[in-house]
Amino acid sequence: MKLGRATMSAGDALSPQPSTSERVSEDMAAVASLERDAELMLRVRAGDEASFSALLDRHRAPVIHFLYRMVQNLAVSEELAQEVFLRVYRSRATYEPTAKFTTWLFRIATHLALNWIRDGKNEKSQESLDQGTAEGATRQVADRLRTVEQEMVYQARLAEVRQAIQLLPAKQRAAVLMHKYEEMDYAQIAGVLGCSESAVKSLLFRAYESLRSRLAHMS
Amino acid sequence: MECPLKSGKAFELMMSYTAGTLEPEKQIELERHLPICEECRKAAAAQKAMWEALDVWRPAAISDDFGARLYQRIAEEEASPAWRMLFRMPWGSLFRPAVPVAAACGALMIAFIVKDPLIRHHSSSTVQQKISIEQVERALDDMDMLKQLSAPAPAEGQASERI
């Protein structure tokens, strides 16, 4: 999984795209990564516990981060992520590398998150949104040199972004999180959500439209 | 290059452009177009602003014991009796495809019961039978009463002899 590819600073020009050779090597790395996942899972099927550990190391962070942004509660997201990997482990005997491993993994994660949201459990976590922000603040502080004022501005912006994403319908939210933060393409998101690519584009169009209007003042 | 806003592909193009996933040829074309089209420039800037705003939300740190807790759960599961696995099976998802079929069968059965002329006839004939039995009983009672009324009254002497 390619991480941190699309982060741009405000001072960047409108064209932060990598060169063709960089992109080719990225794609080759992605293909190798997919083959590696399938290979590891087949080894898990054959009873190799170390391969499961390797899979966990590779995918733990993206799955938890996705679930955290979906449910906006760290404890719940870790609990759901545990369930995701438990289900992967339980299904090892019947695993067939017919689809991308990450698509399968995120399908389980999305299914669990959507069920959790549908069951109305997110109301409790919404109550603790402020608590979650504080919790995130202590965990997310990357730049220790930020002044108190900068920290307050950052927290205010973060709260607005979280709120804007929270207000999206669950399926739109899942599509945006996979597209924006997990850098999945339309086909993969469609595979996860079980819909067509055009349906994904439509979901993303509406979601980004809402986000643009809600976050317009932040620019 | 045709203006993306006029061709209806603006959203996809701008999104890919901002995300850095646009094909190099299209990227060059768009970058040539942006300086001459104010609307596209505004659309690209709005998309970029939103994209950067979302970058504020960085991932949270994961608990150190996540893996340990997971392995503990796996060990507990493996130590538990095999029959318990039955309760963990995703029965809901297994039977989900059968739910619409079952619902359709149920609806058909109800429709069949409601609309079946034989059943309706059977039920209506039962009612008719009930009515006819009551009517017959009532008619017999009436006839008894009429017989008693129409019978000649016995003579007084005969009556006293009987007493």
The per-residue pLDDT for B4 is 75
Strand, helix or coil at B153?
A: coil
Inter-chain CB proximity A5 and B20 less than 8 Å: yes
Question: In which residue ranges of chain B is pLDDT below 50?
Answer: 157, 159-163
Strand, helix or coil at B20?
A: coil
> What's the pLDDT band for A147 if we cut at 50, 70, 90?
confident
- Higher-confidence residue: A68 or A100? A68
Structure confidence by residue, pLDDT tens digits, A159-170: 999 999 999 999
Helices and strands: H and E segment counts in chain A:
10, 0
Structure confidence by residue, pLDDT tens digits, A26-59: 665 665 666 788 889 999 998 898 999 999 999 9
Of all residues in chain B, the one with the smallest CA distance to A11 is B52
A186 to chain B, closest Cα gap in Å? 11
Question: For the residues A13-22, what does the mean pLDDT come to?
Answer: 54
A96 to chain B, closest Cα gap in Å? 18
**A85, A139, A161 member nearest B60 (Cβ):** A139
The per-residue pLDDT for A184 is 93
Inter-chain CB proximity A219 and B62 less than 8 Å: no
Inter-chain CB proximity B49 and A219 less than 8 Å: yes
d(CA A60, CA B67): 9
Structure confidence by residue, pLDDT tens digits, A62-96: 999 999 999 999 999 999 999 999 999 999 888 88
Burial annotation A89-126 (CB, 10 A radius, 16+ → b, else e): beebeeeeeeebbbbbbbbbbbbbbbebbeeeebeebe
Inter-chain CB proximity B57 and A162 less than 8 Å: yes
Check pLDDT > 60 for residue A128: no
Mutate to test the interface with B, among A158, A205, A208, A214 (most CBs of B within 10 A): A208
Output the six-digit token pair for A131. Answer: 């608590």
> What's the pLDDT band for A103 if we cut at 50, 70, 90?
very high
Q: For residue A212, which residues of chain B lie inside 8 Å, CB to CB? A: 46-47, 49-50
Output the six-digit token pair for A24. Answer: 């080719």
Of all residues in chain B, the one with the smallest CA distance to A83 is B70
The per-residue pLDDT for B109 is 86
Is A86 near chain B, with CB under 8 Å? yes
Q: For residue B22, which residues of chain A lie inside 8 Å, CB to CB? A: 17
The per-residue pLDDT for B2 is 74
d(CA A146, CA A157): 15
Output the six-digit token pair for A134. Answer: 């504080």
The per-residue pLDDT for A211 is 94
Q: For residue B51, which residues of chain A lie inside 8 Å, CB to CB? A: 6, 8, 180
Residues 130-189 of A with CB under 8 A from B: 135-136, 139-140, 142, 154, 157-158, 160-162, 165, 179-181, 183, 185
Q: What is the mean pLDDT of chain A?
A: 81
Q: For residue A53, which residues of chain B lie inside 8 Å, CB to CB? A: 67
Using a CB cutoff of 8 Å and minimum separation of 24, what contacts does A133-137 make?
A133/A158, A133/A159, A133/A162, A135/A74, A135/B60, A136/A74, A136/B60
User: Is A179:A211 a contact under the CB 8 Å cutoff?
Assistant: no
d(CA A99, CA A38): 9
Highest-scoring range by mean pLDDT, A14-18, A113-117, B136-140: A113-117
Query: Which domains are assigned to chain A?
Result: 20-120 (1.10.1740.10), 129-139+146-166 (no CATH), 167-219 (1.10.10.10)
Inter-chain CB proximity A16 and B20 less than 8 Å: yes
A66 sits in which H/E element: helix A49-71
The per-residue pLDDT for A79 is 95
A134 to chain B, closest Cα gap in Å? 11
The per-residue pLDDT for A217 is 80
The per-residue pLDDT for A127 is 42
Output the six-digit token pair for A61. Answer: 């962070």
Of all residues in chain B, the one with the smallest CA distance to A165 is B54
Q: For residue A7, which residues of chain B lie inside 8 Å, CB to CB? A: 55
- Higher-confidence residue: B160 or A158? A158
Global confidence as pTM: 0.68
